[in-house]
Structure 1
């Protein structure tokens, strides 16, 4: 077997993981696309936190340090891509929207029992689909400034509680103006935008675990279920009810 093929096969696998299980922090010399055909996968990187589910995969460029945590029984699929031939931009991790066709390609490409010739053909189609796939920016970037990191940790501890920016600033020893500037400069968004992303990612985990839409809205800090549905649809292109139903199909 060539060194080239060995490199890709080392990063390509499919495995079942129990809810709560983890894969410790590590990195690869080549690129990797990770996906769960059922369950939920939280991916922590130095660039931020990302959530993979039935309709979202996470692209990890070569050299990206990352760790995994699974929520609910999850079927994990990982596909390696050579460092020299990335099918997606290799500058930073990103979320890739997974269509039904792309889902079947990802599952097949991670099946190491297939003959090499068949795998080669599947990977060629997979590359074509990835190049024209939609990339979704929903993530939680990692803060660098200690004051901003402390503020994000405080807000993350209770997503349902709307802590005013001024109160966060007081608790971390910064002015409200300075903390607002740090959110925009380091994370590329305002504090309310960051807090919405935090709540949406938490909602994805709860919905994939079977939590009702109404209870998820309440747990994640929305005042009304209707406002939660509207925000979720605008951010992810689907309603929380449909998202929860697709996750239930995967668990079944």
Structure 2
């Protein structure tokens, strides 16, 4: 994302996007919490892609160039915060779990535009809930090494492929040992972890497009719907069929 616009203030607002809708790359001088109350949103930065359903939100620190894409009919809730207000204490994009209470706080806070004593109290509770919200390293990092990038292209083209790392290696001219080492160095995770992240993100997109759970499980490489549901629940805190 080399070209981007500068928007000093990170707004607190609501925005609705149709399926496939885009918000082009931009950067704020303030922090922003991005929450999809309806639909699925992806946030892309130079470090990778985060894709979240309604059980999670994405913390975007000040100075992070980012872009958004909608999957399904998307209702976004943005919470902008001054740079000195960082309840999570984080300097990198992070996925946080949104509890039912935190969800209602975000909805109520973004629905009020006037700064009042009641809104200030609501913001204080928002900060408390964010500090207590567990962070989750659920994102697809950007590959920089050419071989890892090529492998990522193959995985993205066919998430259901059950080929081993050695089989993929033969297709791109590298041993499985070399690829394993490069993946760890480039992405900070193992090959199985990376493939699972890619599959989960593809699953979120397919679900947002209305695909049935069983079909999503098959298209993303799980042997059964029950296995997919179990992995999905552990990753996102809810079942793939819930809204």
Paired positions, count: 237
State the distance in 1 between where 2:52 and 2:85 align. Answer: 23
Please name the residue that 1:216 is paired with. Answer: 216
Q: CA deviation at 1:67?
A: 0.9
Please name the residue that 2:159 is paired with. Answer: 159
- Mapping for residues 76-87 of structure 1, pairs under 5 Å: 76-87=76-87
For each residue in 1:166-207, what CA deviation from the matched residue of structure 2 results, as whole angstroms up to 9, or x when unmatched?
233334443322211111122222111111111111112222
Matched-pair contact (CA < 8 Å) for 1:20–1:70: yes
The answer for unaligned runs of 5 or more in structure 1 is 1-6, 247-252
The answer for unaligned runs of 5 or more in structure 2 is 1-7
Matched-pair contact (CA < 8 Å) for 1:39–1:209: no
State the distance in 2 between where 1:12 and 1:47 align. Answer: 24
State the distance in 2 between where 1:220 and 1:129 align. Answer: 34
SS of 1:245's partner is: coil
Matched-pair contact (CA < 8 Å) for 2:55–2:238: no
Matched-pair contact (CA < 8 Å) for 1:160–1:218: yes
Q: CA deviation at 1:112?
A: 4.7
TM-score (norm 2): 0.90
Matched-pair contact (CA < 8 Å) for 2:147–2:172: yes
Select between 156-165 and 101-110 the one with higher mean Cα deviation: 156-165
Does residue 207 (structure 1) correspond to residue 207 (structure 2)? The answer is yes
SS of 1:211's partner is: coil
TM-score (norm 1): 0.87
Does residue 245 (structure 1) correspond to residue 242 (structure 2)? The answer is yes
Matched-pair contact (CA < 8 Å) for 1:62–1:90: no
State the distance in 2 between where 1:40 and 1:21 align. Answer: 11
Select between 166-175 and 74-83 the one with higher mean Cα deviation: 166-175
Please name the residue that 1:227 is paired with. Answer: 227
SS of 2:19's partner is: coil
Does residue 99 (structure 1) correspond to residue 99 (structure 2)? The answer is yes
